[in-house]
Structure 1
Amino acid sequence: MNNVLLPLIGLLLGIIIGLVYPIYIPVNYAPYVSIAVLAALDSVFGGLKAVGENNFDVYVFITGFFTNALLAGFLAYIGDRLGIPIYLAAIFVFGVRIFQNLAIIRRDFLNKFLKNQK
């Protein structure tokens, strides 16, 4: 249970800090930051899935979190400079992975919850 509690505490703490100390992103950088945030969310849901599968490794999570976010932002920037909407591919891939991970997390939670009810 502690493995699940720590990421949730981190998430809540991040939301509270973001609400108390808002960061304003210039409009020019908004597409890059939005892709990076989507990549980071993919890593968070992947980490939660790994926790549910008892396969979580903090080093894999941290390196994946920053690598995904930086690479996605960089690819969006390069695509913008080349005039090619590469960010659309990133949105599609990360969106699909987030929903897949969320479905797995939901099923695991329901299976554990239903087992406790019986």
Structure 2
Amino acid sequence: MIAFFGLFIGIIIGVLWNVPIPDQFSPYMSVAIFACLDSVFGAMRATLAKQFRSDVFISGFFGNAFLAVGLVYLGDKLGIPIYLAAVIVFGSRIFNNFAIIRRMLLDRPKSH
């Protein structure tokens, strides 16, 4: 529940507080956001499966973001748009986790 509250507050702050991001940092930000969203959806899935561990979430949240940004930086220096691959992989994982979360919620017994 705290994760949903934090996500909701973060979205509100992001919408209301217009922070301009220079164009050269857009690939870095997009990949970092996708990496963090991947961790959040993974945490929601683990919570529903009663397997959530905060140490795994925190290390994945920051580890994925830093690794993804590092790969984008390396690709930028090599002249290869690696960020596209990262966006595809993280996007795929987000949709996969969302599908699993949806199925878990739909398969719960209804109490009437």
Q: State TM-score, norm by structure 1.
A: 0.88
- Establish whether residue 88 from structure 1 lines up as the match of residue 93 from structure 2: no
The alpha carbon displacement at 1:65 in A equals 0.3
Cα 1:88–1:19 shift into 2, 3 Å: closer
The alpha carbon displacement at 1:25 in A equals 1.0
Distance 1:28 1:92 in 2: 20
Aligned length: 112
Instruction: Look up the match of 1:25.
Output: 21
* Per-residue CA distance 1:9-36 (angstroms, 9 max, x = gap): 1111111222232322111101111111
Distance 1:64 1:11 in 2: 16
- Establish whether residue 76 from structure 1 lines up as the match of residue 72 from structure 2: yes
Instruction: Look up the match of 2:110.
Output: 116
Indicate the percent of aligned positions where both proteins have the same amino acid: 52
Range with greater deviation from structure 2 (22-31 or 63-72): 22-31
Identify unmatched segments of 5+ residues in structure 1: none
Please tell me whether the aligned partners of residues 38 and 90 of structure 2 are also in contact (alpha carbons under 8 angstroms): yes
Identify unmatched segments of 5+ residues in structure 2: none
Superposition map of 1:1-118 within 5 A: 5-112=1-108, 115-117=109-111
Please tell me whether the aligned partners of residues 30 and 87 of structure 2 are also in contact (alpha carbons under 8 angstroms): no
The alpha carbon displacement at 1:56 in A equals 0.4
Instruction: Specify the code of the residue in structure 1 equivalent to 2:65.
Output: A
The alpha carbon displacement at 1:117 in A equals 4.7
Instruction: Specify the code of the residue in structure 2 equivalent to 1:82.
Output: L
